[in-house]
Amino acid sequence: MIKKTRQHISQNESLLFEISSPGKMGYQLPELDVPMMDPAEALGGNTRAEIEDFPEVSEVELIRHFTRLSTWNYAIDLGLYPLGSCTMKYNPRINEVVARTEGLAWAHPYQPESLSQGAMEIMAELERCLAVITGMDAVTLQPAAGAHGEMTGTLLIRALLTSRGNPRKKILVPDSAHGTNPATAAMTGYEVENIKSNEQGMLDVEALARAMNEDVAALMVTNPNTVGVFEQYIHKIAAIMHDKGALVYMDGANMNALVGIARPGDFGIDVMHLNLHKTFSTPHGGGGPGAGAVAIKKELEPFLPGPRLRRENNQWHWDYDRPRSIGRVRSFYGNFGVLVRALAYIMAHGGEGLKNATMDAVLNANYIRKLIEPYYKIAYQAPSMHECVFSDDYQSKKGVRTGDIAKRLIDYGFHPYTVSFPLIVHGALMIEPTETEPKQELDLFADAMISIAREIEENPAIVLNAPHLTRTPRVDEVTAARKPILRWKKPAESQVRAKPGDLRPDVPAREPALPASVR
Amino acid sequence: MLSTIGVNSLEDLFAHLPEDVRFRGTLDIPPGKSEYEIVDYFRARAAETAAGYASFLGAGVYSHYRPVMCDVVVSRGEFLTSYTPYQAEISQGTLTTIFEFQTMACQLTGMDVANASMYDGSSAVPEAAMMAIRVTGRRRVLVSRTVHPEYREVLRTYAQHQGMPIEEFGYENETGTIDTADLESKLDNRTAAVIIQSPNFFGVVENVSEAARIAHAGGALLVDVFTEAVALGVIEPPRDADIVAGELQSFAISPSYGGPFAGIIAAKEKFIRQIPGRLVGETKDANGDRAFCLTLSTREQHIRREKATSNICTNQALIALMATVFMTVYGKEGMRELAIQNLSKAHYLGDRLPRRFSGAYFNEFVVRANGRTPGQVNSGLLEHKIVGGLPLGRFYPELDGCMLLCCTEMSRRSDMDVVAEALRA
């Protein structure tokens, strides 16, 4: 068995503003080839002398600063990142290279269509691929992220229903849904009604039928849902909605379980979004950028945000003549650079490869489930798709909660799973390994989880106080919220600089508690 | 692995799916391609664009030089391949850079607090308007016609079903700045926000303090929008605004056919709990050392669901990091020098041309095409491998014969001379 972790030196680093000193610089602009303009004269005195307290550092200080900070991060490039619902798969580097191709990276959105054909072709091909994958009729690439796609989809639903005479009042949202679903429904002027899940973690079809009436515009369903279970009765669910003239929206966050296996367009979905930064491998980058393509059935097509791509005389054109459109949801055409990466991923896999990736994702999740199920309580007995959800019921008897287990997992060299979501599972541990993890990494993860379960039996304190091996121990989030400090400010007095000989390394305050596999 | 799970084949893992949901066909996507073929495909598509052309387009997307350091930093896997920093103990790298980003965004705009980024400038505008509505308890929004036309379209899309009436006010025909008389006549006690942009869509610098005075006199908040962040290196920051909503594309973010970019919202301290999106705050770790974490998350959708300040979840963290590195490369002195270069280049060209507006401008300006259509002028320029300005008729029918030109530090004098010649004739 290899040891996953050991301690090493980690460098401290001050904030940019603290390492800054007057007159330092890390840039060189070319000499101006036109007469210099006096800002005060050109701008009528509406000028500033300087940006107060802005950093002044040299190039080497800059690279060390950001490199040192980077070493304080966990990342997919370092190991398994099993955040449920987030699909943290490997981000192929070829995607980064092609997105930086000069003619694409420097394409201006307003340059003439005749000089944008390559960019437009990429978007058209991606739209086509995503329509094929989802089994839908058309796709818009304009939304910038998943929640933005949800907003677009909900507005499309409202527009279609309005054209039929009544936008209706409510959107039904399962109690297991992502928080973005109800937040989006509210932003688009709908009331939210929560629908209970049943004891199998699935949408309660009876409850849905009871809640259904002609005030309901749509259901927002996630499939597989947030407990990683496929909604078996999706056809019936869709029929209940459609019978009363409502639509079915699908949150595509979990599409990594379905590509090549099942198509939402074939099981009654009218509109859905895809998170290209999940299923299609574009990097999360510490929280974004994403892209939230929306796929729809034909009847919603007239309402899509403009402009739309149109092929005419062997050329791509942007069609702005969209009188029934819901309007733009962002400027220009979408997060094009992210779209390039997603298409590169699709091309690398091909149709068969995409299906294989899905199967491996489901294989990996079921493998982890099987290995740790004896030690953690599976939330629902129903078969798992691409992720498995446990509760901390066994461990909470010892006073250890899912958040504590997550922190202890860090000592074993892993990023934690998604903590305390979905809300319907008491103390949820939501684990999504993705297809790109090797078996060895999965085995190490399972071992870590089992080892932690044992530690909780023998010595829960070690878990309750975790992490022990990180450069930063537990962070006080309560004080951060109570007394928010959201920016650096120049200290009132100049700080006392350390004298030579004062700079001895920190000595650990206590003996670090090493994971069993390291000892 | 299959035997551990207790199944015989991968297919068995899907046996529980009802047959009528299964897709039994083959996805109509060509077989997987090699790295070489993929690079080749995208190079071929890139060749079908304006690669190698000089460009005088701005209008919300600017061609500024991207210092090498920006890609060096954002290409580090620890930044590129990490998630939203929920687990503070192993995310201090991202959290610290966001804290620095928030600080620099404040220094740049003269505001007290800034969030960790929005999707882009256009979506930051409706988020700022919704914030003003929460703060004032009023619902009407007045937006200047000199705000980027696509931003205004996005504002209308967001507003249409939230009971947020949007009305526009005009600009001075002579100067290209906001028509304060029109604004004052439309301002009433239902108005939550007045939205202006500076430098505005015509490149003209607005008097933000005067606009703020008018908005405040009517009990409304002033939202100031910017699309050209480089301008803030030399123009007076919008200190009198209540909320600033901006686009940071100018800071090392490739034009990339319109995205991904990074928007921000910055505001006065007292509105801190109404800001949408992620916020990073300073705190201490268990050893008493300084540490950072995501904070005030009770505003957000994963906690408050339908009562959240916004539905935003994913933001533009990596792009914001790119902007942070850009701001650090240039630093205090460089931001000013860069701004002055832009100002000087634009004035070298603009001051020789028949400009439509007399107001002070930064690096963009509107010119008349003098007897020809902007399309005709641009066609002529394409023969010199120059992409000319943006014809304005599409957005402003009354400016049909005009175009918007932009010069940056990357504009060559020789190309500017060609443009001057084309527009003078």
CA-nearest residue of chain B to A440? B1
Structure tokens at A300: 């919603």
Q: Which two tokens stand for residue A265?
A: 């367009």
Which tokens sit at A59? 């190039």
d(CA A478, CA B294): 11
Mean pLDDT of B188-213: 98
Which residue from A138, A129, A225, A123 is spatially nearest to A173, judged by alpha carbons? A225
pLDDT at B115 over 90: yes
A94 interaction partners in chain B (CB closer than 8 Å): 35, 38-39
How do residues B160-178 score in pLDDT, each as one tens digit?
999 999 999 999 999 999 9
Distant-in-sequence, close-in-space partners of A28: CB < 8 Å, separation ≥ 6: none
What Å distances lie between residue B260 and A12, A71, A145, A252, A289, CA to CA? 32, 25, 10, 21, 7
Of A178, A28, A474, A504, which is closest to residue B69 (Cα–Cα)? Answer: A28
pLDDT band of A519, cuts 50, 70, 90: very low
Write down the pLDDT at residue B304.
84
CA-based nearest residue in chain B for residue A121: B45
Partner-chain contact A29 B338, CB within 8 Å: yes
User: Which domains, and CATH codes, for chain B?
Assistant: 54-67+332-424 (3.90.1150.10), 69-325 (3.40.640.10)
| Backbone torsion region of residue A335, taken as left when φ is above 0, otherwise alpha when ψ lies between -120 and 50, otherwise beta | beta
Residue A33 pLDDT exceeds 90: yes
Q: How far is B13 from chain A (nearest CA, A)?
A: 7
Contacts of B287 in chain A (CB under 8 A): 473, 509
pLDDT at B425: 58
- Give per-residue pLDDT as tens, A440-456: 999 999 999 999 999 99
Residues of A in contact with B289 (CB under 8 A): 472
CA distance A143 to chain B (A): 9
Residues of A in contact with B53 (CB under 8 A): 111, 115
pLDDT of B303 above 90: no
Write out chain A residues lying below 8 Å of B329, CB-based.
Answer: 26-27, 59, 62
Contact B345 A182 (CB under 8 A): no
Chain A contacts of B231, Cβ < 8 Å?
Answer: none
Distance between CA atoms of residues B14 and B16, nearest Å: 5
Q: What share of chain A is helix, strand, coil (3-state, %, to 5)?
A: 35, 10, 50
Nearest by Cα to A172 from A213, A202, A216 = A216
d(CA A87, CA A255): 9
pLDDT above 90 covers a percentage of chain A that reads 92
Whether residue B315 is predicted with pLDDT greater than 60 in this model: the reply is yes
The pLDDT > 70 percentage for chain B reads 100
| Radius of gyration of chain B, Cα coordinates, nearest whole angstrom | 24
Cα angle A178, A273, A202; round to 5: 45
- Chain B residues within an 8 Å CB radius of A24: 331
Convert A417-465 into a string of H (helix), E (strand) and C (coil): CEECCCCCCCCEEEECCCCCCCHHHHHHHHHHHHHHHHHHHHCHHHHHC
Q: Which residues in chain A are contacts of B348 at CB distance < 8 A? A: 34-35
Q: What CA–CA distance (Å, rounded) separates A219 from B243?
A: 36
pLDDT in tens, B134-151: 999 999 999 999 999 999
DSSP annotation string for A231-255: -TTHHHHHHHHHHTT-EEEEEETTG
Contacts of B201 (CB under 8 A, 6+ apart): B59, B60, B146, B147, B148, B149, B227, B395, B404
Judged against a pLDDT cut of 70, whether residue A163 lies above it is answered with: yes
CB-based contact, B415 to chain A, within 8 Å: no
Q: How far is B160 from chain A (nearest CA, A)?
A: 8
Is the pLDDT assigned to residue B360 strictly greater than 80?
A: yes
pLDDT per residue over A454-500, tens digit each? 999 999 999 999 999 999 999 999 999 999 999 999 998 655 555 66
- Among residues of chain A, what percentage have pLDDT more than 70? 94
User: Are B61 and A110 inside 8 Å of each other by CB?
Assistant: yes
- Domains of chain A by residue range: 16-72, 94-107+115-348
Residue among A16, A18, A73 with most chain B CBs within 10 A, to mutate:
A73
CA-nearest residue to A269 within chain B is: B21
pLDDT of residue B314: 82
Q: Report the sign of the C-alpha dihedral through residues A197, A203, A205, A211, in that order.
A: positive
Q: How is residue B89 written in tokens?
A: 């103990």
Kind and range of the H or E run holding A480: helix A477-482
- Is the pLDDT score of A326 beyond 90? yes
Residue in chain A lying closest to B94 (CA) = A286
pLDDT tens digits for range B30-41: 999 999 999 999
User: pLDDT above 90 covers what percent of chain B?
Assistant: 94
B32, B293, B314: residue with CB nearest A348: B32
What average pLDDT does the structure give for chain B? 96
Rounded Cα gap, residues A334 and A123, in angstroms? 10
Angstrom distance (rounded) from CA A344 to CA A104: 13
Taking the C-alpha atoms of residue A302 and residue A325, their distance in angstroms, rounded to an integer, is 6
- Is the pLDDT at A502 greater than 70? The verdict is no
- pLDDT for A395: 97
Which of the four pLDDT bands, split at 50, 70 and 90, describes residue B306?
A: confident
Q: From edge to edge, which strands make up the β-sheet containing B263-267?
A: B113-114, B263-267, B243-247, B221-226, B191-197, B140-144, B166-169
**Residues B271-302 pLDDT 10s:** 999 999 999 999 999 999 999 999 998 888 88
A-to-B residue pairs, Cβ atoms closer than 8 angstroms: 647
Instruction: Pick one of 3.40.50.300, 3.40.50.620, 3.40.640.10, 3.30.70.20 as the CATH number of A94-107+115-348.
Output: 3.40.640.10
> Are residues B240 and B217 in contact, defined by beta-carbon separation less than 8 angstroms?
no
Chain B residue numbers touching A150 (CB-CB < 8 A): 311
Asked if A104's CB is within 8 angstroms of B46's CB, the reply is: yes
Helix (H) or strand (E) holding B285: none
Substitution target from B16, B40, B82 for chain A, most A beta carbons within 10 A: B82
Subunit contact A72:B90, Cβ cutoff 8 A: yes
Decide if pLDDT at A512 tops 60: no
pLDDT at residue B340, rounded to an integer: 98
* Alpha carbon of B219: minimum distance to chain A alpha carbons (Å): 25
Q: Which residue has the tokens 């990276």?
A: A105
Which one-letter DSSP state was computed for residue A487?
A: S
Chain A residues close to B14, C-beta within 8 Å: 261, 359, 362
- Nearest C-alpha neighbor of A393 from the set A426, A431, A368: A426
* Per-residue model confidence (pLDDT) at position A279: 98
pLDDT in tens, A75-87: 999 999 999 999 9
In terms of CA atoms, which chain B residue is nearest residue A320?
B394
Separation of CA B244 from chain center: 12
pLDDT at position A112, please?
97
pLDDT by residue (tens digit) across A362-382? Answer: 999 999 999 999 999 999 999
Q: Are A297 and A137 in contact (CB under 8 A)?
A: yes
CA distance B228 to B206: 13
Could you tell me which residue, A506 or B409, shows the higher pLDDT? B409
Distance between CA atoms of residues A178 and B306, nearest Å: 11
In this predicted structure, the answer to whether residue A513 has a pLDDT above a threshold of 90 is no
Report the residue of chain A nearest B295, measured CA to CA. Answer: A481
Tokens coding A337: 């650079």
Across residues A185-197, what is the average pLDDT?
94
